[in-house]
Amino acid sequence: MILDATNQILGRLASFAAKHALLGESISIINCENAVVSGNKTTTLEIYNHSLERGSRAKGPFTYRRPDTIVKRTIKGMLPSSKDSGKKALKRIRCYIGIPENFKGKQAEKLTGMDISKLSIMKYTTVKDICIKLGGKL
């Protein structure tokens, strides 16, 4: 299953992907940088920026700065990662920045009811903006 993350709410996309990965499906998520996080932009950026201040660079905890790793980490949080089923499900999920060459001619699914039109207040931040604020390079 190929999912397009453009204008999709990150939490809803992650829960959908986690649920289907636990059922045994292979999931590829393209355009991860265009997924959105709902909420006030300044508050969201402060929360992600606060994660940089914890720990040390050598010992961690490590902060992800690329859009594909942020999306995969969000999905990992919705899986039972300590159990064997969760570990196998996480291996079935692939996240990509943009559209890779092997997915160019294939049809990607857009999830209905999980995009930004679902939000009542149009306050959101893209994952790309979060990565730029954290100092990541796209």
**Separation of alpha carbons 109 and 27, rounded Å:** 11
Determine how many CB atoms are found less than 10 A away from the CB of residue 51.
13
Hey, what domains does the chain have and what are their CATH numbers? 2-134 (3.90.1180.10)
Give me the pLDDT at residue 92, please.
94
Q: What is the pLDDT along the chain (138 residues), one digit of tens a residue?
A: 899 999 999 999 999 999 999 999 999 999 999 999 988 888 888 888 777 776 676 777 677 788 999 999 999 999 998 899 999 999 999 999 989 999 888 888 888 888 888 777 788 889 999 888 888 777
Q: Decide: 2 and 28 in contact? Cβ < 8 Å.
A: yes
Tokens of 95: 């996240």
